Amino acid sequence: MAKSDTAQATASANDSKLKALQTTIEKLDKAFGKGTVMRLSESKVVDIPVISTGSLGLDLALGIGGMPRGRVVEIYGPESSGKTTLTMHCIAEAQKAGGLAAFIDAEHAFDRVYAEKLGIDTKNLLISQPDNGEQALEIAEHLISSGAIDIIVIDSVAALVPKAEIEGEMGESKMGLQARLMSQALRKLTGTINKTGCCCIFINQLREKIGVMFGNPETTTGGNALKFYASVRLDIRRIGQIKEGADNVVGNRTKVKVVKNKLAAPFKVVEFDIMYGQGISKVGEILDLAVEMEIVKKSGSWFSYGTSRLAQGRDAVKELLLDNPELMGEIEGKIRAKIATDEDALLDPVLAATAEDDEGEIDD
């Protein structure tokens, strides 16, 4: 009898708690809008909307098909490694999908001709060349808050110079100003970015820490805030040159490592070609993925597809595919079909370079 009374008392207390909770949720919905607080079982789990990077291999390595919308992304690497080129491809892909893009050019180095070669509609690209870091981030905040921008690129964090530093004398120490500026800006921007579904990409540069005897001395500029707020961090490096003949360099072999990914498995590595004046080589990526997935067979230096031999040497096959867009489209279709039916098919291509790249990543 006593047990029954205790059970009834517990049930009554639980009912009172649930009623009080429901009343509180209704008040919060009224004050801040419907869905302010909800049970996890009630919130719909949807696929994360993305913007393609322009690189099939990198889209696969990211695990979600591209750059996530409503999140902060950081791309960093040494000079001339392809950071701006990669973001320009993202802008071009967003525009192809009917989106609006903005470019905050804090470095004052935007190349309109190159942007057009990569497929950017410069007539509809919003660009700003701010005078200082505060102005740049204020402009970014207003553009993101409008809800009309699908992707915004800030090039670069290192060039977001605080107003106090610009107005000060040359050589005057202003320690911590930029880190404080970035920390404050990201606290304000993150919620707005998420609500509006804008993809916000920060390009960052590398510096070396003084006095590091062991481990990697490299670090990114602007303090640690961006490392924490970024959902995706990409480390991009130039690993080789692409030559025509003995001395004519026509592009770079580039490696990208996903050093942080809150949306899928991190630490995947992908390699692709960046050709001068053309950007990321789509045909080179298709060929590499097709070989990894054994859609195109490689025997020595010869490549074959089905029963026919294509050509001898990677560059010769690339030229052949460029001259035969139907064949290239057929091979790309088989790659996408294989990925759609077997997700494990993409593991080998995007992890091909991971083994030799385990040391030296920047700590998050």
How confident is the model over 116-140, as pLDDT tens digits? 999 999 999 999 999 999 999 999 9
Tell whether the model's pLDDT for residue 36 goes beyond 90: no
Identify the pLDDT of residue 2.
57
Residue 364 lies in a domain: no
| 202, 335: one domain | no
Residue 250 lies in a domain: yes
Identify the pLDDT of residue 356.
47
Estimate the share of the chain in helix, then strand, then coil, as percent rounded to the nearest 5: 45, 25, 35
Residue 25 lies in a domain: no
Cα-based torsion angle of the residue sequence 171, 177, 178, 184 in order, rounded to the nearest 10 degrees = -170
| 272, 292: one domain | no
Residue 200 lies in a domain: yes
Q: How many domains does the chain have?
A: 2
| 187, 246: one domain | yes
Q: What is the mean pLDDT of residues 207-234?
A: 92
| 182, 269: one domain | yes
| 94, 120: one domain | yes
Tell whether the model's pLDDT for residue 188 goes beyond 50: yes
| 319, 229: one domain | no
Q: What is the mean pLDDT of residues 108-122?
A: 96
| 272, 342: one domain | no
**Which of 253, 280, 307 marks a domain boundary?**
280
Between the alpha carbon of residue 232 and those of residues 93, 95, 226, the distances in Å are 18, 21, 10
Nearest to 160 by CA among 190, 203, 112: 203
Average pLDDT value over all residues in the chain? 88
Q: Could you list the residues known to form a binding site, using ranges.
A: 77-84
Residue 11 lies in a domain: no
**Which of 260, 280, 300 marks a domain boundary?**
280
CB-CB contact of 268 with 72 (8 Å): no
Residue 246 banded pLDDT, cuts 50, 70, 90: confident
Beta bridge partners of 206: 220
Range of the domain at 323: 288-346
**Which of 230, 248, 280 marks a domain boundary?**
280
Q: Could you list the residues known to form a binding site for ATP, using ranges.
A: 77-84
| 295, 230: one domain | no
| 307, 162: one domain | no
Identify the pLDDT of residue 45.
44
